[in-house]
Each structure stands twice: as C-alpha cells, then as structure tokens.
Chain A
Amino acid sequence: MKSGSKLEKVLTAGKFAITAELGPPQNANPEAIKKKAQHCLGVAEAVNITDNQTAIVRMSSIAAAAIAVSCGLEPVAQMVCRDRNRIAMQSDLLGAAALGIKNILCLSGDHQSFGNHPEAKNVYCLDSMQLISMVKQMRDEKTFISGDPIKEYEPKFFIGAVANPFADPFEFRVVRLAKKIQAGADFIQTQCIFDLDKFEKWMELVVKEGLHKKVYIMAGITPIRSSRALKYMKTEVAGMSIPDELIERMDAAEDPKEEGVNIACEMIERIKKIEGVSGLHLMPIGWESITPVILERTGLLPRPEVD
C-alpha cells in the first residue's frame, strides 16, 4: 500500500470506486463541513475537498479535510499550483499527512481572473505535472524536491490528478495522461462527462496505450437540474463538450430534475461497461443530496467493505 487510504484499498481490490466532492465554506464555520460531510458518509470511499475552487477564497482545503477526517470521512485534499510555491506546498503536504490526510489531488488550478480576487498575483512555481512528481518523490524517495532527505515520517499520499478528455488538442490528451502517470499519478478523475461518445473514443485510445493498467481512471459525473446549467457550461466553461441532444432533452422534460437524474443514471450504466474505467467521481454542484439517490438507482450502494 502506498498510503493505506480507503480509496486506494477499494481501487486496488479491483472494486468500482466512488468519490464525491465537498466545497469548503467562504467563512470559518467548521459546522458547514460537518453538515455536508453527513451527506457523504457511507456513500463514497473518499470526498474531494476543493482548494479555493474557481479562485474564490474559501476555508483552506487542508483544514477542511482535517475536519472531514474528524467526522469519519476520508478526504481527497486538492492542491492547486496557483497560490503557493514549492516551499509552501511541501510544508502543506507535511501538515496534511500529519493531520491524517491520505489522498492528494494535484491540479494547476483555475486562473485568478475567474475568481473574486482578480488583482492577485499567481505563483505557478510548479505546474500540476511537476507537483505530482514532487508528491511522489517525497513519498517514494523520501526526499524534498531539493534533494534534501526527509528524516522518517515521509508524507505518504495516494496521488490523484485530473484529465480533461474534452480539451484540445484531442490527440494530445492521451499523451498528457501518460505524462501524468510518468510523473506519478495513482488515480485520475476526469472532467465532468456529457459527451459520452467522445469519452468512449478517448478511453479506447487510453486502453490501446495500456494506460488503464497503470492508473485508476474515475469518470466525472455532474447531475444537472436544468437545461440552463448545461447551456451556461457550453458557452462559458472552456474545454467542455455538451451535445445539443442533451440540451434538447432537458428542454423538453416536464420534470427537469427527474430527467437530470435519469440522464446521470443512463450515463453511469454506459460508463460501467467501458473498458478501463475504475470508478466514478460525482460532482453534483450544489445538489449533494442527489448523490445517494443516483448511486442507489445504479446499484452502487451499499459501498464495498475493505479492511
């Protein structure tokens, strides 16, 4: 075991794994985390705690992850390259491990111009690829990125990264995944999938390269409540692929919420059959209560036991 996290155990046991997502509050209230954590207990192996997502200031992902640990929930603490240099990142990684956090997700991070502090200076001392290899180096070589040794108690993380099969250039997206594996990623969560055909095409290439044997791929799913949300993502979020049929189907629905759940469930059934997919990453933006409903309907509850 690399980290001994529950997520690692479920994935290495060859079981279909589930992760969910929890956004920390824009204040210092620990109860907000505890309340949201209740929705996730028993539903997912681990829960991503976002790191100032969309560049909006929120409670630190590591602090929020530590609160999640205290609630009995296993966090995947996200770490972005936007706000910290390699000194601060390594320091936070030591702190995260000391607080009982076992999974880390490495991302470059949304640019500050999207958030509520567009005047901020960004850092990007490392990029996400280099962050992954730093976390691996600390774990496997027991050294800091400078080469200095870590004397015992090295931070042992199960290392996650993201992949967006829908961004350009499409042909390069598989090479980029291979690079993340080369850097040290143990598991991958994808951008939320709406264009299943394109995702299947990407997975075919991934399988052809044998990459699914080197990393656990978790397919990103975002249940939607309205066609408006879809249209917004289609026009406003770069690197998203949203088929028009999906928008038409949501437009025509009498009960859009119910239709959104139907769509998510259909997609999950199709994804379960795709070779090389090891699990799901559920990101119901502001609709956390729907996660157990969807998992129940797709036969993914109760979650498997691992020791």
Chain B
Amino acid sequence: MIVADRKPLQEILEYIKDYKKIMLMGCGGCVTVCFSGGAKAVELLASQIKMARKEQGNDIEIIECTPTRQCEYEFLEELKKDVESVEAVLSIACGVGVQAMAVHFPEMHTVPGLNTKFMGYPVEHALWEEKCAGCGDCVLEWTGGLCPISRCAKKLLNGPCGGSADGVCEVNKDNECVWQLIYDRLKKLGKLENLNQVRKPKDWRTSTNAGQRRIKFEEAML
C-alpha cells in the first residue's frame, strides 16, 4: 500500500488562506488504512482548519467527502457538483489522487494535504515501513523476498557494506541492515549460494530515470 503522512497544519493553512469555501477530499484507499487520509482524518482536519480560521476571525466553509478512490475518474465524477461549488480542493489522498483530481477538474485549484512517503506495510499496529521503491525490475527472487533497493541506504546489489554491525544499518540505527536479513533468510532457505556471484549493475531504465513510466494491459483493451 501507499503510505502518506499529514503535512503540518500551518503549511496547509497557508495553501488555502485566500479561500472562503473549500472541499476537503480524503480517499477510501491506502490512506484510510494508514490513518492519514480516510473519512476520520477528513473530519479531524476539517475541524482543525475551521477552528484555526475562526481564531483568525476569517471563517471558512468546508465540504467534506471521501470517495472510494480518489485516483479514479469515475469516483471523482460523482462529486462533480460539489467540486464545482467550491473555490479550491484540499486533497488528503496520496500524490496520485491529488493529480487525478487536478487533471479531472482542470479549472479547480487542488492542493495536497499529505506528504506521500512510500510503498510499504504495517509491521506492527500503527507502524509502517517502506518495502518497495518500484524499481521496475524486481530482484526479490534471489534475495529471499527482501528488497535491497528500497531498504538498503546504498541500494547495494552486492551487500552488505562494511558498516553492517549487530544487524543494524550504519546509516539509520532504527533500521535493520537488510543485507544481514537477506543473508539470514537465504541461510535458512539453504540458498546462500545466491550470494556467491557478483550481481551485475542494475539497468536503471526500468526505474524513474526517464520520467513517467506507463503500463498498457493489452488483453483488457476494449
């Protein structure tokens, strides 16, 4: 899932300072699961904004909504009437949702209320960790299902580096060294030989090097 985090309230207030009536749009997808952009987050942020603006003596009207997914035009289309009744949309979907919104309603000023962080999952209650950087050429087959591209601070394909100690990454003590984990896991699987060969340089063309990437699913074409 995509994991995102609320922007500071001050920053959000600055974005919408010129507007008297906005829509605050959440998303029922990933950001609902990670608490940052679901219906509850919409409700909470709306009341925080209203309170702050009231204190400034500059009331604001907010229409709250949380479509099933903000990143699909058909869900946005259902909100058309409400969208057209406001001066701006504050979106607390991930960056993908914000862009879908901005493109679908080109006349509308849409601003982000979240910082989109990464693709990951909750490793325990209310703690998410990054697990994939979308590099476009997955290596998990030979790494025991653990990703060195998103989880190693140096994206090593031939790790671990010389700073791996006691299972901890030298760059960030909160993180386990993923290369230690890969080693341990392959040992358990009886596949340590996966680490005997020097792995060739990665072809970064599959990654974010040439701007937007596209996927066309031919079989589903109408």
The number of chain B residues touching the other chain, given as a range, is 20 to 34
What is the CA–CA distance of A176 and B195 in the complex, to the nearest angstrom? 9
How near does chain A come to B20, taking the closest CB pair, in angstroms?
37
Chain B residue with Cβ nearest A240: B165
What is the CA–CA distance of A129 and B159 in the complex, to the nearest angstrom? 9
List residues of B (164-222) whose CB comes within 8 Å of A's CBs: 164-168, 170-172, 177, 180, 183-184, 195-201, 204
Chain A residue with Cβ nearest B167: A168
- Give chain A residues whose Cβ lies under 8 Å from the Cβ of B160: 167-169, 172
- Give chain A residues whose Cβ lies under 8 Å from the Cβ of B168: 238
Q: Is the CB of B158 within 8 A of A124?
A: no
Q: A108-B154, A125-B204, A145-B201 are in contact. Are A113 and B171 (CB under 8 A)?
A: yes
- Give chain A residues whose Cβ lies under 8 Å from the Cβ of B33: none
A81 at the interface (CB under 8 A from B): yes
The number of chain A residues touching the other chain, given as a range, is 35 or more
Q: Is the CB of A122 within 8 A of B198?
A: no
Chain B residue with Cβ nearest A169: B183
Q: A145-B201, A168-B180, A169-B180 are in contact. Are A127 and B158 (CB under 8 A)?
A: yes
B13 at the interface (CB under 8 A from A): no
- Give chain A residues whose Cβ lies under 8 Å from the Cβ of B171: 111, 113
- Give chain A residues whose Cβ lies under 8 Å from the Cβ of B165: 167-168, 238-240
A179 at the interface (CB under 8 A from B): yes
- Give chain B residues whose Cβ lies under 8 Å from the Cβ of A182: 197-198
Q: Is the CB of B196 within 8 A of A175?
A: yes
Q: Is the CB of B154 within 8 A of A81?
A: yes
What is the CA–CA distance of A178 and B167 in the complex, to the nearest angstrom? 22
What is the CA–CA distance of A169 and B172 in the complex, to the nearest angstrom? 18
Q: Is the CB of A130 within 8 A of B201?
A: yes
What is the CA–CA distance of A168 and B166 in the complex, to the nearest angstrom? 7
29 A–B pairs (Cβ distance < 8 Å), ordered by A: A108-B154, A108-B161, A111-B154, A113-B171, A124-B154, A124-B155, A124-B156, A125-B201, A127-B154, A127-B157, A127-B159, A130-B157, A134-B201, A145-B201, A163-B162, A167-B160, A167-B163, A168-B160, A168-B180, A169-B184, A172-B183, A172-B195, A175-B196, A176-B158, A179-B198, A238-B163, A239-B163, A239-B164, A240-B165
Assuming A122-B154, A167-B164, what are 11 further A-B pairs, CB within 8 angstroms? A113-B153, A129-B157, A130-B158, A163-B162, A167-B165, A168-B167, A169-B180, A172-B183, A179-B196, A179-B198, A182-B198
